[in-house]
Amino acid sequence: MMADVKRFLAGTGTDGVGRSINQILDLDDAHWERTHDFIQWLFPLTEASRSVRNAPVLTHDEIKQIRESETAQANLQQSVLRYKEFLAGTTKWRSGYDHNHLRISRVIKSLRLLVSDEAANGFKYWVAGQLGDQIDSIHAESRRHWRLS
């Protein structure tokens, strides 16, 4: 799986259904909201996805290779910017429980693994800043995951 994920993040491969990273980043917000099988490719983890059966699962060697790839790092940053754009353009995720809360947890964990603690914390603080006083309306379990990720 490593080569597939690394090639995908480097922009030379595709995800499990044949999309390139650029194709995913170019999808509109409606598609990002209703489609649930791409976030695992943009932000892979060392644990299996509970919702997407064939999502990549990283090994320590894969993490090292992705960390060393300038192109993969640049594409991870583009993925973060696109996800921020998506979140900034919608309000549904800003209360109670929403599937984007799980995505936010995934992004934080993936950035910590593949980029740096600073990148992960920066994204986490950006989310908190977007929520402002609304953060208390987010389900406590989601907020706990964000704090611990």
| pLDDT tens per residue across all 149 residues of the chain | 434 999 999 999 999 999 999 999 999 999 999 999 999 999 999 999 988 888 999 999 999 999 999 999 999 999 999 999 999 999 999 989 999 999 999 999 999 999 999 999 999 999 999 999 999 999 999 999 898 88
Q: What is the pTM of this model?
A: 0.94
Please choose, from the candidates 54, 55, 73, 144, the residue with its C-alpha nearest in 3D space to the C-alpha of residue 104. 144
Write down the pLDDT at residue 1.
40
Write down the pLDDT at residue 130.
96
Give the three-class secondary structure for 39: helix
Write down the pLDDT at residue 149.
84
Write down the pLDDT at residue 42.
98
Which residues lie closer than 8 Å to 78 by C-beta, 6 or more apart?
21, 25
Give the three-class secondary structure for 110: helix
Write down the pLDDT at residue 40.
96
Tokens 């490719």 sit on residue = 41
| 28-35 long-range contacts, CB within 8 A, separation 24+ | 29/86, 29/89, 29/90, 32/86, 33/86, 33/90, 33/92
Domain range annotation of the chain: 2-148
24: alpha, beta or left? (left if phi > 0; alpha if psi -120 to 50): alpha
